[in-house]
Structure 1
Amino acid sequence: MILTACGDSGPDQPQTLGEQFANALNSDDVGAAAALTSDPAQASAAITQVYDGLGKEVQFSVDKTGKSGDDDTITFAASWKLGGGDSPKEWKYTTNATAIDGAEGWRISWDPSVLAPFEAGSTGSLVYRATYPKPARVADSAGRDLLTQQVVTLVNVSPTADTAAVAALLTPVAPTVTAQSMQTDLAAAEGKPITPVALREQDAAPISAALAAIPGVELVQQTRLLTADRALTSPAFNGLSELWQEANDAAAGWEVASIAPDGSAERLIGEDAKTTPDIATTLDTNLQVAAEAALAPIQQPAAIVAIEPSTGGILGVAQNASADAQGPIALTGLYPPGSTFKTVTASAALQAGTVTPDTVLPCPGTENIEGRQIPNDENFDLGQVPFHTAFARSCNTTLGRLAVALPPDALTKAAAQFGLGVDYVTPGLTTVTGSVPPADTPAERVESGIGQGKVTASPFGMALVASSIANNGVSAPMIVQGKPGTGDKTPDQLPPNISSELLTMMRETVTGGTATILNDIPDLRGKTGTAEHGNGPAHGWFVGIAGDVAFAVFVSDADSSGPALEAAGRFLRSEQFRAR
């Protein structure tokens, strides 16, 4: 019997015991591993916690067995893959265990240090976690805080909560959160809790205790990147937040920490987080405020995008709540640009040499051009007028007739010279400029020439057109200083005279054309636009250039360019704009 118990093949020897324990751990069989210890309950709890804290990507093996005095010992080698993903962190170590021969056979004398290099006798736990650097600032062009990391309180509401009591506390600070809205969301959640709001610190502080006292309400704190000024909102912040998060994640360190019962932590292994530089943007907070205020009175979806022509820097991207419900339309929404596209048509005609600004052309009230009956607004008829006058007064018949005579790809090429139809990859900014496909038939060229048919543009795209006219060519868009976008194509260079001729005609649009409502704005240049679509009211547009600010205003279903002109007026006459 003694020989059998001590023989090399005996199942209760330290080597075999160690291999059984390692195999059970590698198979995630907590019960089997715990049963091989002197205290299965304590071992089961500890193994479960370690798996919860570190994951289960681990390989244990018996490194060696031996003696320590009268004790039989087993040395385990462990190798963890931590963090998952394509590049997991690796942690390797060895631990020592004592094997004891008791009434139930050989067992591992339980101590948490069998699993990991705890201090002897520790009852703590392990956790793998990322460690982050000091949060970078996201600053505006003047160096003021634009986005900062802040603590928010998530209000989690379960189906058993009194939504009327919750709403009574939340509605004053979050008007869209009501008892009815929460009941609707809870019904859709099918028994799961909902999070109707995340509160900033200043909003949470006065009501947190009362909220927490409501049964079924749980408050959870998180850190988030938020606007320093709570009144500011912009779809441009989404890309900046993503850029900030990417930099934060790339700079993150990691650690495996031993957590003591009192909550104190000791790092066992890890790497320190790297420093992340602040993100300096081109955004002008004052112009952003002015643009948001200019859109506030408008009920339909509306947007303003402003660009600095000399640099390509994005100065402001604003849209109202109705637009927010549809997504980031200021940057990626595509619409027929209507007569604002006549800037491109005029450029193509001027470059083709078929006209000069002073060429006298007919502007009849309506004309059948290649089977398409083209009317002017309310069928106004100017007779024979110089091209610059036809442009300023937005003669559809004149521009449609000019477009017919152009090659099929002339408008495509001319638009690209202003950045329209070019896809830009811009750090911190996701945009779509628009599409100007070749017009193969005369009828298609008529439609395209007045910004209808297959031609589409985003508010950003038309702001880029205005910026490119002001700059005599495209300045690649940029929202992070020093990091301009890269286009998917390199358009032909714009001839040097084209921008100056367009700027002169756009000035006449303000002084004697369709934008005279803005004639009090010094040296403003612009172009109005009304764009038909489907069966609804027409969209309204205005693109303008005032000093080193180029911008586009878009108002959906406005039925005319009037609301866009009025919004432009509020923007340009604002104290913030005049102080620039």
Structure 2
Amino acid sequence: MKIWAKRAPKMACAAATCSVAVVVLSACGIGGGDDNGVAGAARQFAAAMERQDAGGAAGFTTAPGQAGEALTQTLQAMNAEHVDVNVVKPVEYSDGTASFSLKTTWRWAKDRTFVTTSSGTARHLSTGWKLTWEPSIIYPGLPYGGQLREIRTDATPAPTVRSQSGKTFMYLQPVNEIILDPNRTKDVNQSARALARTLAPIAPLVTTQVISEKLAQSQGKPITAVTLRDPDMEVMTSDPGTVPGVTVRKAGMLVMADRRLSSPLEPGLTNYWQAIRDATAGWQVQMVGPGIKPRKLAGDQGPAGPSVDTTIDQNLQLTLGDAAVEVGQPATIMALDAGSGAILGMAQNSYAVERGINADSVHPVGSTLNPVLGEVDRTATANQESNDAIMDRLGLGVQFTVPGASAPTADQPGVTTVDFRPGDLNASMMNMGALGVALARSSMGQMSSVPPFVIKGAPTNIVGGKLGELDAATTAPILQAMATTAKTGDASDLTGAPGLRALVGTNGPQGPGWFLGLQGGKVLVIYCEGDKSGTAALQVAQKYFRIR
């Protein structure tokens, strides 16, 4: 047969070729409109892909198992909002095979799209037409075991968080998340003990008990026992990854440039920094596979975002941290610039960290503000206006959202709230700071209140009332009472604080206790909890004045 074909006249050969062409074109027409033909199988495959139903699409291939796994990996890694798949030129041949093309459009938010054209073949089996499984159906040249993926890209260099002097306060650094998955170890208690022993040289506070408590709270889900920087990993004498159930995951984290520093402002600053990263993030579609370098297929990346300029004084932040650890009960301390309301720093001890106290936490003030409330009542009566309006102008009756300081939580959406009822006033450190700034400004002849802030150029949102003009008839008696408290009252034992004016008080024997001081062009707010918390607040204040 082969010999005859070679010796056939050229005209006969041409005629045969023409005849085959007619048959193919005719079959293409039939297949294009016949759901039982290759076009129908290809359209059902495409419809399943549009539903992102990997198993359903795989059922129309010659290898459902392999196809299902590969399609699942790509669909999950692409994570598209919509997938549009069009079948192009399905052609059936007389030998029971066929060919087709697919035009696939992947769509994401912000009008991001990626369009591919792939080709494939099909066979007519006893069960009907099936698409011959090849990874190239997904994308031309995709290897077995490979996938397409859509990833986020971040511009470089990453923004930093800078102190008031322009020095780097926080920056992005590679870190190692030490993760324990209770479902990947036969004896979770033994793994917890082994992990604690491994971490002891660098993280002695991450004890077996701490790890066990995290596991109990996670209800069977993996926990991050600790996050360590690369130099920390070198200190350990054994690899935590060898502990059953433990994995070490590389990540990036915004960390303090000075490892001696920590602050409850970190979550808020990180949230603000992350918002800049998110706004400047790009995207990329890659082809990845075993033994090959990820290949960029599409994407876009804009310029890096600006660094975050803050009002934080790094030296003062260190001083605040040293003062906070003076007492063995929850203590938090914040300093503000008396003229502008700029937050200069905020620190707390480990007991306050465990309690989850932050700038927005609202607490009873007890007797602390009695001199203030007395003058508010007197002024309201004399001027025939509401107590609330005066409280607002003093910074006590309004709600603040301070970018870089207010960190949203599950039970408090990043807003400082004040609940004012006679004899029962709840306030936050942010409100107490605003009050201190208002009083300090009035003593300097600046008769208006201003909101606290920590990021330069990022205004504080104020709701629930208005700040505004201050009345010397209200503020002068309060300032005099504060001077008396510092000279002959509860704060008179404090030393090293010339010109101090202070408010001191508690909400009963179990606290909480407060200290609000004006001294040296700064406003100092201290909040303590527990037994004798008023005394504890004074101890923290004394440590601050001694070491600043």
* Shorter-chain TM-score tier: 0.7 to 0.9
The answer (yes or no) to whether the contact 2:368–2:503 under 8 Å persists in 1 is yes
Partner of 2:239: 210
Partner of 1:96: 119
Residue 498 of structure 1 deviates from its aligned partner by: 4.8
Residue 179 of structure 1 deviates from its aligned partner by: 2.8
Q: State yes or no: 1:247 paired with 2:269.
A: no
Q: State yes or no: 1:64 paired with 2:89.
A: yes
Partner of 2:160: 137
Q: State yes or no: 1:51 paired with 2:75.
A: yes
- What are the Cα deviations for residues 185-228 of structure 1, in whole angstroms up to 9, with x where unaligned? 44565655433222222222333853223333222222222222
The answer (yes or no) to whether the contact 2:174–2:253 under 8 Å persists in 1 is yes
Partner of 1:331: 360
CA–CA separation in structure 1 for the residues paired with 2:149 and 2:291: 15
Partner of 1:367: none
For residue 483 of structure 1, give the secondary structure of its aligned residue in structure 2.
Answer: coil
Residue 177 of structure 1 deviates from its aligned partner by: 2.3
For residue 543 of structure 2, give the secondary structure of its aligned residue in structure 1.
Answer: helix
For residue 523 of structure 1, give the secondary structure of its aligned residue in structure 2.
Answer: coil
Question: Which one of the candidate residues 386, 397, 406 is aligned to 1:409?
Answer: 386
CA–CA separation in structure 1 for the residues paired with 2:237 and 2:358: 36
Alignment CA distance shift 1:105-1:520 (3 Å): closer
Q: Unmatched 5+ residue regions in structure 2?
A: 1-22, 407-414, 443-447
Partner of 1:146: 169
Residue 154 of structure 1 deviates from its aligned partner by: 2.0
- Counterpart residue type for residue 424 of structure 1: F
Q: TM-score scaled to structure 1, two decimals? A: 0.76
Residue 38 of structure 1 deviates from its aligned partner by: 5.6
The answer (yes or no) to whether the contact 2:54–2:72 under 8 Å persists in 1 is yes
Question: Which one of the candidate residues 440, 449, 458 is aligned to 1:474?
Answer: 449
The answer (yes or no) to whether the contact 2:48–2:57 under 8 Å persists in 1 is yes
CA–CA separation in structure 1 for the residues paired with 2:191 and 2:485: 60
- What are the Cα deviations for residues 462-502 of structure 1, in whole angstroms up to 9, with x where unaligned? 22211111112311111101223132222452125654554
CA–CA separation in structure 2 for the residues paired with 1:308 and 1:423: 20
Residue 512 of structure 1 deviates from its aligned partner by: 3.7
Question: Which one of the candidate residues 11, 14, 20 is aligned to 2:44?
Answer: 20
Residue 174 of structure 1 deviates from its aligned partner by: 2.2
Partner of 1:172: 201
Question: Which one of the candidate residues 496, 517, 526 is aligned to 2:493?
Answer: 517
Residue 424 of structure 1 deviates from its aligned partner by: 1.6
CA–CA separation in structure 2 for the residues paired with 1:459 and 1:481: 20
Partner of 2:228: 199
Partner of 1:464: 434
Partner of 1:395: none
Alignment CA distance shift 1:115-1:526 (3 Å): same
Alignment CA distance shift 1:433-1:461 (3 Å): farther
Partner of 2:105: 79
- What are the Cα deviations for residues 262-315 of structure 1, in whole angstroms up to 9, with x where unaligned? 241122122214421111111222222212211212122222221112221111
The answer (yes or no) to whether the contact 1:347–1:502 under 8 Å persists in 2 is no
- What are the Cα deviations for residues 496-550 of structure 1, in whole angstroms up to 9, with x where unaligned? 5654554455334323443222354222222222333xxx434432211113211
- Identity in percent: 28
Partner of 2:291: 262
For residue 436 of structure 1, give the secondary structure of its aligned residue in structure 2.
Answer: strand
* Cα RMSD after superposing both structures: 3.4
The answer (yes or no) to whether the contact 2:343–2:452 under 8 Å persists in 1 is yes
CA–CA separation in structure 2 for the residues paired with 1:51 and 1:132: 23
CA–CA separation in structure 2 for the residues paired with 1:408 and 1:495: 13
For residue 346 of structure 2, give the secondary structure of its aligned residue in structure 1.
Answer: strand
Partner of 2:409: none
For residue 235 of structure 1, give the secondary structure of its aligned residue in structure 2.
Answer: coil
The answer (yes or no) to whether the contact 2:334–2:346 under 8 Å persists in 1 is yes
CA–CA separation in structure 2 for the residues paired with 1:250 and 1:300: 40
CA–CA separation in structure 2 for the residues paired with 1:147 and 1:236: 11
CA–CA separation in structure 1 for the residues paired with 2:369 and 2:61: 79
For residue 328 of structure 2, give the secondary structure of its aligned residue in structure 1.
Answer: coil
- What are the Cα deviations for residues 360-405 of structure 1, in whole angstroms up to 9, with x where unaligned? xxxxxxxxxxxxxxxxxxxxxxxxxxxxxxxxxxxxxxxxxxxxxx
Matches within 5 A, 1:153-552: 153-157=176-180, 158=182, 159-160=185-186, 162-186=191-215, 192-207=221-236, 209-346=238-375, 349=378, 409-410=386-387, 412-430=388-406, 431-432=415-416, 434-437=418-421, 448=422, 453-472=423-442, 473-488=448-463, 489-491=465-467, 493-496=469-472, 498-499=474-475, 502-518=478-494, 520-532=496-508, 536-552=509-525
Question: Which one of the candidate residues 519, 527, 541 is aligned to 1:568?
Answer: 541
For residue 22 of structure 1, give the secondary structure of its aligned residue in structure 2.
Answer: helix
Residue 96 of structure 1 deviates from its aligned partner by: 2.9
The answer (yes or no) to whether the contact 1:5–1:12 under 8 Å persists in 2 is no
Aligned residues: 499
CA–CA separation in structure 2 for the residues paired with 1:491 and 1:190: 46
CA–CA separation in structure 1 for the residues paired with 2:393 and 2:298: 56
Residue 571 of structure 1 deviates from its aligned partner by: 0.9
The answer (yes or no) to whether the contact 1:254–1:273 under 8 Å persists in 2 is no
- Counterpart residue type for residue 151 of structure 2: R
- Counterpart residue type for residue 166 of structure 2: G
The answer (yes or no) to whether the contact 1:318–1:330 under 8 Å persists in 2 is no
Alignment CA distance shift 1:206-1:15 (3 Å): same
CA–CA separation in structure 1 for the residues paired with 2:420 and 2:128: 82
Q: Unmatched 5+ residue regions in structure 1?
A: 354-405, 438-447
Residue 420 of structure 1 deviates from its aligned partner by: 0.4
- Counterpart residue type for residue 415 of structure 1: M
Partner of 2:148: 126
Alignment CA distance shift 1:119-1:542 (3 Å): same
Which stretch of the first structure deviates more once superposed, 96-105 or 259-268? Answer: 96-105
For residue 494 of structure 1, give the secondary structure of its aligned residue in structure 2.
Answer: coil
- What are the Cα deviations for residues 336-379 of structure 1, in whole angstroms up to 9, with x where unaligned? 241344134336536866xxxxxxxxxxxxxxxxxxxxxxxxxx
CA–CA separation in structure 1 for the residues paired with 2:531 and 2:213: 32
- Counterpart residue type for residue 152 of structure 1: V
Alignment CA distance shift 1:191-1:279 (3 Å): closer
For residue 231 of structure 1, give the secondary structure of its aligned residue in structure 2.
Answer: coil
The answer (yes or no) to whether the contact 1:420–1:433 under 8 Å persists in 2 is no
Partner of 1:370: none
The answer (yes or no) to whether the contact 1:540–1:554 under 8 Å persists in 2 is yes
Alignment CA distance shift 1:16-1:331 (3 Å): closer
